[in-house]
Amino acid sequence: MDNNSNHPSSSSSKTDRKTIERIRRDQMKALCSKLNSLLPHQNRREAISLPDQLNEAANYIKSLQINLAKMKEKKDSLVGIDENSTSTRTLSTGNGRMRGLKTPHIEIHETECALEVVLITGLDSQFMFNETIRMLHEEGYEIINASSSVVNDTVFNTILSKVGESASSYGSAKISQRLMKFANEVNGL
C-alpha cells in the first residue's frame, strides 16, 4: 500500500522534471539561435544542425581573435611601438618621468575665417592629431584639409579648418587656448 501512496507524488515530480527540462531546452534553443544570428552568413538555403552552428561560432570567434591580434601588431608597428624599440624611443628626464624623443609642438595661425593648426610630434605622440581634430569639431570648426608627413621619427600634421556656423564669435581665441593647454599637458608642463 505504500507503493500506491507514493504514486501520485512520483507522477507530479516527473511532470516537474519534464517541465524543467523543456524550459531548459527552450532556453538553450533561444541562446543558440541568438548566437547563430550574430554570425556572418552567406546566403544559405539549407538549415545547419546545432552542433555545426556551434562549431561555426567557435571558428568565427577564433578568426576574430586572430584578426584582433594582427590588427594590434599592425597598430603597434604604425605607432612605432615594438618591444625592442620602446627602450630606445624613450628618455628619462631629471624628474624620473619617461618622455618620448620628440616633444610635441603646436602652432596656430589664424585668419579672418580660417584656422591652421600645425602639429609636430614624434611617432609616439600621434594620438594628438586625432585629439586636435576632435577639439576643433567640438568648437564648431569644419575641417577643410588635414595632412600628415613623416620624416625620420618626426610627424608633421597640418589641419586647415574654417569657422563653422555653430562656432562662437570668440571661438578662435578659445580653441587656440584649448589646443595650447592640451599641448602643454602632453609635454608635462
Give me the residue spans of the domains in the chain: 2-41+48-78, 100-187
* pLDDT for the residue numbered 22: 94
Measured CA to CA, the distance from residue 119 to residue 30 in angstroms comes to 53
Predicted pLDDT at 39: 83
Q: Taking the C-alpha atoms of 95, 99, 102 and 108 in order, what is their torsion angle to the nearest 10 degrees?
A: -80
Domain 100-187 has CATH 3.30.420.10: no
Q: What is the pTM of this model?
A: 0.43
Q: For residue 42, what pLDDT is reported?
A: 58
Low-confidence ranges of the chain (pLDDT < 50): 1-2, 82-101
Which grid coordinates belong to 146?
588635414
> Do the two domains 2-41+48-78 and 100-187 of this chain adopt the same fold?
no
| Top-tier CATH class for 2-41+48-78 | few secondary structures
pLDDT at 154: 86
Rounded-to-integer distance, Cα 56 and Cα 35, Å: 10
